Copies of this chain bind each other. A is one copy, B any other.
Amino acid sequence: MTTWTVGQVADVFGVTVRTLHHYDEIGLLTPSERSRAGYRLYTDEDLTRLQQIVVYRRLEMPLEEIATLLDNGEDAVAHLRRQREAVMTRLDELTDIVVAIDRALEREMSNEPATPEDLKELFGDGFEDEYQQEAHERWGHTDAWKQSAARVKRYTKADWAEVKAEMEAVGAAFVAAKRSGEPATSEAAMDAAEQHRRHINDRFYDIDHDFHRGLADMYVADPRFTKTYDDQEPGLAAYVRDAIHANADRHAE
C-alpha cells in the first residue's frame, strides 16, 4: 500500500477531507492517481507537497501564493523573508493586543483608575508636565480645583477616553460653527459653548455661566490655551470666548 485515500491523509496531516478536496479543486494539490471508483489516491510525492503546503498555511500564506512558491521554487528565499516580516509584524500586533487585554482586565476587575501613562497615551506628552503643576499652584486652593481633583482621580482609562472624545466633539462643534461662517453670537456657536460648559460641569467641577465667562477670558489671556484652540483653526480662541459670553448672556435673560 503505497498510496493513501483522503481520510488517511487527512488524519495524518491534521487537515479535513474537505480541505483536500478544496486543494484539488483549485489545483494546489491534485492527487497523482485515482482508483477505478474515482477515489483520490495520494502518493509519497503528493504527501511531500502537502507537507510543504501545511507548513506554509501555518504562516497564513494565501493558497495562491503557496502555489506559485511551490511551482517555481526559485525565489523561495524572497518569499520566506517576506513571510517572516509579516509574521513578525503580526507578532508585534498580538503582543500589543495582549497588553491591551491585560489593561482592560485589570480595569474591568478592579475599577482601577487610569495611570499617568494611560493619560499620556491618550492625550500625548505634556499633559501632566509643568503646566499641571503651575495650574495647581494657581488654582489649587479653589473649591473647583478640589472638586475636579477628587473626581478625576477616580477616572478610569475608559472614562478618560470618553472625556477626550467629548472634548474633541466640543472642539469640532466650535470649528464647524466658525468655518460655516456663523458669528460667535449665533445659535450654533452658543450651543457649542453650552456643550463646553456642560462638559466641564459633568466631568470636572460645578461651573455656572459667570464662572464660564471667567474661564473664557482666561483662555485668550493664556497663550498656551490660545494655542490649543488656534492650532485647530486660526482665531478660534477668541471665537470661543465670544461664544461663551454670548451663551452666558442668553442664559442671563
Contact = CB atoms under 8 A, between A and B. Distances in A.
Interface of A: 1-2, 44, 47-48, 51, 55, 58-60, 76-77, 80-81, 83-84, 87-88, 90-91, 93-95, 97-98, 100-102, 104-105, 108-109, 161-162, 165-166, 169, 172-173, 176-177, 188, 191, 195
B59 A109 contact: no
Number of copies of chain A assembled together: 2
Given A1-B176, A84-B102, A88-B98, 13 more contacts: A1-B172, A1-B177, A44-B166, A47-B165, A48-B162, A48-B165, A55-B104, A77-B105, A84-B98, A87-B97, A87-B101, A91-B91, A91-B95
Contacts of A60: 97
Nearest to A59: B97
B44 A165 contact: yes
Given A94-B91, A109-B77, A100 B58 contact: yes
Given A84-B102, A98-B91, A101-B84, A108 B76 contact: yes
Contacts of A87: 94, 97-98, 101
User: Which secondary structure characterizes the binding site on chain A?
Assistant: helix
Contact of A58 (B51, B55, B93, B188): B93
A45 to B, nearest CB: 10
A105 B91 contact: no
A84 B169 CA distance: 31
A101 B77 contact: no
B55 A81 contact: no
Contacts of A191: 2
B51 A165 contact: yes
Nearest to A77: B108
Contacts of A59: 97, 100-101
